[in-house]
Structure 1
């Protein structure tokens, strides 16, 4: 019987095992990941959970298949996990670990839209803790933070909020933040050539030095040197003081430092920028389609801005290269105020190889090197003492959430003492040259409401150039002085009418006084001239984005009334950007502009032969107001890190004079008024990868003068460089950067004497007889540059940045200019001496900066 009983029991055991397995399997299948359960509940109940992903990633739970009670599900989740699920309202549920249940927390939403803000920065002041808000706007702060402390909540495009921590509770109160009224300046090319350079829909190119890439030859973030890497922006003589934008002279550009016009831009006679890169955070460059708020320019605008937010933490840096030493500091004064300080000073006392190379470049064509008459038998010993410095400071004070005061000050100084001595005698004389700028301003920004903002600025800009030239062989002394004083006020308003329309309007008053003095003791001669001009300008611009920023239209005008001349000029401005889809876009721009200040350029006839540019003011007679017209049409392709742009332009400038064009031929001492016309094409090809960027740019431009009273009346511009190209690449990996590039352009024009009849007699004096003006071309220019940068983290709070740069890597001898001068031979007969200006040779430099 036993076997029979066993056979009957076997099916029963199988059935029991089967149901037991189903029971276990059912229990297993009932377990789901908490993440999946949250997603299911969000869809089923139309709610949103706020949680930290890492805290729920490994948790599984069992929940009923169907339930209509959300509270019941949350209660089960509370029982099955170490997390606390809290239903804040009918929309949001917070999920925190039980040990953090009593943490401070809050939820950040936009006041205008009631939408949560993800990624808002929350910083606990005077305590080493910071966090960011979640996708639903939530954040939490541990209880270890003192309740009497304060937090700062900031989000790009929104006003910063300061709160006491005891205002936060475990119930996570809602914190409303209001948006700022900001310009609709959408960036449509995020990385243009290198990181930190972007192009906006209004046609401007912006340089942001906060996280900048590397440009070949760059030793530091000198924005005026970096700007020359852009197509259409170059310098015909390698200097900062002669930046040519689409064929214009340097004085035709408007240079602004924190919205104040600068009349000096360089150190070391233009080889180094006068603006300390440590505090220059953003630069906007306009070649066309300039916003109406900018006046006093017929070519480009370079708008430089220092850091404009109150510093909460102390930061500073000291640096040293083979030209100068520098230091800067951002110092918090309180929760609402801070101060910025920066300064540089030359290291001329060391006479490093770079300093000597720069000196040879500047003084090679002057009396200092005696090059015009190298056979002079008198042995002269020359000693030059050159130095420069700049110092700037800025006070930032946020009086309230709606009011901000800014106070700026900047001073720039260049000085040169040149001592000549005759060997074997006690005879020596010292000549002096000094350039100095002082600028200052006070601004008040007020946010009256979410869509209305005003800024008022009172400013002053002072520039002084004085020179004393003493002749070693006579008692003659020549004194020259150029003094510029501008003071004024600007009021800007910005009104957001709707999401599609924004209006900017304002008023500017300026009073400019320019004095020029020339005093010679033998023969006695003194001339002093001073002009003063007051100008009232009103401007308005409307930004219209009709279809989700596929189309961006900026249209406006500037009207200027010149009191002295009783003259009104109205200048329309236009910029239209249209996205065509699939990465393609088209833009067109146009502008009318004017300016009343220009520079008179003097060469060997003045101080030691060192070129100086003296500012003069329009008198509506022999120095007219400059006026320009420009139009351009461009096409672009920007997709999958490929960038191609092609832009054609036409530019006409009237009212120029021969004295501000730097002629060194038969027109050097002739006074005439005319115009120039520049037209051409700019092309850019740029490929960006994760660590690498390479670009090719090319500019074709035809630039011609027209002077009706000269013979001939039409001839090439002195800076008519027909072809210009750059091939460059940069590489970055972690904290290391490399850049290598080649610059090439065709030679600019110059004038030669008439072959066989070089010297003629005019009024009893020998004079050079020149051939057709600007009928010859200099040899092509070619230069290769290299840069490297490494950021070394010395400690948690201290970094060292090391830069190495080599200009003219191949030591190519480029001729920048050729002119002709008369001297005498051993028989006291007149002869012509050809003087060539040669570019910088191989110039290595190294910079070390410690940041803390």
Structure 2
């Protein structure tokens, strides 16, 4: 069934691509080469032109046949810089004459390439012309007091006064189509490259990014944590918490393809190479209707999508991995992008690698080897590696059509070896985590106002672990697989200068497999679920003439075929400029998602990557739904920025299995909800060479599980106070940034002070007090970073970065849980297990750009 569905979608894509070639053949009948025009006049009126071929070969114009020879020559003389002299009744000379004409040269702002056959028309008269092969056009000086409108498919309509032209044909840069761009409200939010958009989202541009404290490279998911309301309670980018939500509540997209894996090194490094990831949009609320899933946030990453001239690339090295990327032109209309990263700890384990290893392998099967328990001398070592590689093929078929191929592969491999020194008996345990993302897309601009995009994609996720017990013959095999295919159709129609309509359709088929097998005692558990979802969406964007009001609204319809269930999801985002640099923002959304992550046991997958993806079944695991609203004020003036926002977020259908309980609810399965509300505040002062900011977030996050006692208690991610005070400074080619991060402790549960161990004669369990009644100690971390850009030669630059995480080596407690242990006398006691933060972690990187 799945194969037939995939084949059907492939056939649809092939038909769409075939149809595009038909439309590509349609040409505007008025666009003519001057040489062709002269030949047609010769045939019509039995005359002959004498001219220099080089002068007219590349000249194009808007031309329709005229009733007489005189009318034809008069039309040509007024529209192109040539003089037509009649020698006699049959022969006419054509001489280039620029003295009575002004000129310009139209170039694409995003690529710098000339725009051939762009239309240039006067706003007052019927005059019109076309740009030549090199983008050049000519305007008679008689039109000196008029305005010109330049149009080219895929680019913004651009106005210019004839009086701004001259005889030197200076360049006119025309930006890409406005419908493909996000209107930016705040150009630099905290640092250069961070922006606040009119729809309430945040933008990240890595090609012109500034510097954040502790940053050695533009790690995408690390950068998102600088935004208010986003943090990671355990210091990883594979556990990003947005307004009190769990990590699986984030929809992470790479070139519009969903990724089920987000990190390398089990969460300490982003799995997405920043070298070819140019633009990122982060939506916390008011999410565009084209996005499903991600009830807490959408993080949409896009690679560089413009063609440019010549080869360019780079290679770099830091104390964890090496990387390289390249842009390879294939022709004027096609290019290939490639990039790759790989760890090198097999050659050298740097101090940073050792610090990261200590952090990530805490409280796992890797570090819980205790020789004292068995009375044996045991040696243990791990062998870990990761890599990612991506390839993109860019083909601008013509001025209207763009074709893209995307491919990304990610891999993490861990081997854990234990050896009894006395007997030299050893066993290996293994863990593999890998993902593959692939997609084909076709964009077409049918006209200046209407465009469409088709994407078909495949994404996989593969998590496998084999845990061999050293002291017994027991082996535990676990596997979690995700296979998702889909097709997305998007359309945008510019109704007027104020209104733009958008809509589309999305089909997704998701299959998830979970398997667990134990050889002793024999146990096998295999579950495979498939869910197909159809979604249709439509929306409208309004922008006032003075750009003071921007309103995005729409609705998304999600239909889950397996459950015969329809969910209607309205979305809205309003931005209203008030007075004196003050603006109002209001956002709201309904969202849902059918994929979540579950934690069965802390020892799953060697305890390193213990979360597994599962699908909703509407019995034990419901579809998760959310409702969210927010209201905020923004003020920007004279380098000052203030942003205050309050929010209300209600999430229903969560499963206790994906919340990571480590108390009396750890092995109970129930559905519930949580309610998060709070406020976020940012104040930022920016000048030409420095930026200083203070951000603060307040959160009140509470669970509601009707089958638990008590039914209501603090959320595991109820971090009440979060604050950052940071700044960056630029000295010519040197950038320096430092900052202090603080948040209050997250809640946890402690055992009862008396009779804390309960025994039924076979098993022993811990009796806990009220859930999440205690709080970890407050978290503090000071970070520092520096960057220097060095121009080695005209074509080669070097970028040197130094970063130090946790400069003061503060050992923050990230988690506390309790386990029952038994001593050599057979007496049981409760042991406290603490997980601590990264220690002092300096890192260094060198990157060459050419």
When normalised by structure 1's length, the TM-score is 0.81
With over 3 angstroms needed to count, the CA separation of the structure-2 counterparts of 1:377 and 1:177, relative to structure 1, is closer
With over 3 angstroms needed to count, the CA separation of the structure-2 counterparts of 1:124 and 1:355, relative to structure 1, is farther
Q: CA deviation at 1:763?
A: 5.1
Query: For each residue in 1:827-849, what CA deviation from the matched residue of structure 2 results, as whole angstroms up to 9, or x when unmatched?
Result: 12111111100100000000001
Correspondence 1:786-801 to 2 at 5 A: 786-801=784-799
Alpha-carbon distance in 2 for matches of 1:791, 1:459: 38
SS of 1:475 mapped into structure 2: coil
1:828 aligned to 2:826? yes
Q: CA deviation at 1:251?
A: 0.3
Query: For each residue in 1:765-812, what CA deviation from the matched residue of structure 2 results, as whole angstroms up to 9, or x when unmatched?
Result: 221111111010000000000010001111110111100000000100
1:88 aligned to 2:100? yes
Query: For each residue in 1:450-502, what CA deviation from the matched residue of structure 2 results, as whole angstroms up to 9, or x when unmatched?
Result: 00000000100011001101011111101000010000100100100001000
Of 569, 585, 588, the match for 1:587: 585
Partner of 1:765: 763
Partner of 2:287: 290
Query: For each residue in 1:325-370, what CA deviation from the matched residue of structure 2 results, as whole angstroms up to 9, or x when unmatched?
Result: 0010001110000000000000121111011101111112123222
Say if 2:602 and 2:610, in contact at 8 Å, map to a contact too: no
Instruction: Structure 2 unaligned segments of length 5 or more: list them.
Output: 1-96, 105-113, 125-130, 144-150, 159-165
Query: For each residue in 1:661-701, what CA deviation from the matched residue of structure 2 results, as whole angstroms up to 9, or x when unmatched?
Result: 01111111100100001000000000000100000000000
Say if 2:152 and 2:448, in contact at 8 Å, map to a contact too: no
Alpha-carbon distance in 1 for matches of 2:271, 2:622: 29
Q: CA deviation at 1:640?
A: 1.0
Partner of 2:26: none
Say if 1:159 and 1:179, in contact at 8 Å, map to a contact too: no
1:782 aligned to 2:771? no
* 703-712 or 174-183: bigger deviation: 174-183
SS of 2:238 mapped into structure 1: helix
SS of 1:773 mapped into structure 2: coil
Alpha-carbon distance in 2 for matches of 1:648, 1:178: 36
Partner of 2:162: none
Correspondence 1:14-93 to 2 at 5 A: 88=100
Q: CA deviation at 1:549?
A: 1.4
Q: CA deviation at 1:184?
A: 6.5
Partner of 1:274: 271
1:218 aligned to 2:215? yes
Alpha-carbon distance in 2 for matches of 1:175, 1:107: 13
1:543 aligned to 2:555? no
Alpha-carbon distance in 2 for matches of 1:703, 1:173: 59
Runs of 4+ in 1 over 3 A off after TM superposition: 85-89, 105-115, 122-125, 130-134, 153-160, 169-179, 371-376
Alpha-carbon distance in 1 for matches of 2:195, 2:121: 29
Query: For each residue in 1:257-286, what CA deviation from the matched residue of structure 2 results, as whole angstroms up to 9, or x when unmatched?
Result: 000000000001100000001001000000
Partner of 1:251: 248
Query: For each residue in 1:360-405, what CA deviation from the matched residue of structure 2 results, as whole angstroms up to 9, or x when unmatched?
Result: 1111212322277866532211010000000000000000010010
Query: For each residue in 1:139-167, what CA deviation from the matched residue of structure 2 results, as whole angstroms up to 9, or x when unmatched?
Result: xxxxxxxxxxxxxx99994499xxxxxxx
Q: CA deviation at 1:607?
A: 3.2
Partner of 2:506: 508
Say if 1:372 and 1:821, in contact at 8 Å, map to a contact too: no
Partner of 2:481: 483
Correspondence 1:292-371 to 2 at 5 A: 292-349=289-346, 350-370=348-368
Alpha-carbon distance in 2 for matches of 1:643, 1:355: 38
Correspondence 1:440-455 to 2 at 5 A: 440-455=438-453
Of 736, 739, 742, the match for 1:741: 739
Q: CA deviation at 1:93?
A: 8.9
With over 3 angstroms needed to count, the CA separation of the structure-2 counterparts of 1:172 and 1:774, relative to structure 1, is closer
Of 591, 599, 606, the match for 1:608: 606
Partner of 2:60: none
SS of 1:619 mapped into structure 2: coil
Partner of 1:465: 463
Alpha-carbon distance in 2 for matches of 1:317, 1:173: 33
Partner of 2:233: 236
With over 3 angstroms needed to count, the CA separation of the structure-2 counterparts of 1:607 and 1:186, relative to structure 1, is closer
With over 3 angstroms needed to count, the CA separation of the structure-2 counterparts of 1:374 and 1:636, relative to structure 1, is farther
* 645-654 or 826-835: bigger deviation: 826-835
Q: Which has the larger radius of gyration?
A: 1
Say if 1:110 and 1:176, in contact at 8 Å, map to a contact too: no
SS of 1:581 mapped into structure 2: coil
Q: CA RMSD in A?
A: 2.9
SS of 1:354 mapped into structure 2: helix
* 106-115 or 525-534: bigger deviation: 106-115
SS of 1:225 mapped into structure 2: helix
Partner of 2:560: 562
With over 3 angstroms needed to count, the CA separation of the structure-2 counterparts of 1:322 and 1:499, relative to structure 1, is same
SS of 2:574 mapped into structure 1: strand
Say if 2:115 and 2:133, in contact at 8 Å, map to a contact too: no
SS of 2:578 mapped into structure 1: strand
Of 646, 653, 664, the match for 1:648: 646
Partner of 2:206: 209
With over 3 angstroms needed to count, the CA separation of the structure-2 counterparts of 1:131 and 1:662, relative to structure 1, is farther
When normalised by structure 2's length, the TM-score is 0.81
Alpha-carbon distance in 2 for matches of 1:480, 1:660: 17
Say if 2:117 and 2:132, in contact at 8 Å, map to a contact too: no
Q: CA deviation at 1:651?
A: 0.1
Say if 1:618 and 1:624, in contact at 8 Å, map to a contact too: yes
Q: CA deviation at 1:250?
A: 0.4
Partner of 1:182: 179
With over 3 angstroms needed to count, the CA separation of the structure-2 counterparts of 1:238 and 1:106, relative to structure 1, is closer
With over 3 angstroms needed to count, the CA separation of the structure-2 counterparts of 1:176 and 1:212, relative to structure 1, is closer
1:678 aligned to 2:676? yes
SS of 2:253 mapped into structure 1: strand
Alpha-carbon distance in 1 for matches of 2:699, 2:173: 54
Say if 1:179 and 1:450, in contact at 8 Å, map to a contact too: no
With over 3 angstroms needed to count, the CA separation of the structure-2 counterparts of 1:336 and 1:235, relative to structure 1, is same
Q: How many residues align?
A: 724
Partner of 2:191: 194
Correspondence 1:655-734 to 2 at 5 A: 655-734=653-732
Alpha-carbon distance in 2 for matches of 1:279, 1:691: 27
Partner of 2:15: none
SS of 1:312 mapped into structure 2: coil
With over 3 angstroms needed to count, the CA separation of the structure-2 counterparts of 1:712 and 1:694, relative to structure 1, is same
With over 3 angstroms needed to count, the CA separation of the structure-2 counterparts of 1:469 and 1:106, relative to structure 1, is closer
Q: CA deviation at 1:611?
A: 3.7
Alpha-carbon distance in 2 for matches of 1:386, 1:407: 31
SS of 1:333 mapped into structure 2: strand
Instruction: Structure 1 unaligned segments of length 5 or more: list them.
Output: 1-84, 95-104, 116-121, 139-152, 161-168
Say if 1:109 and 1:175, in contact at 8 Å, map to a contact too: no
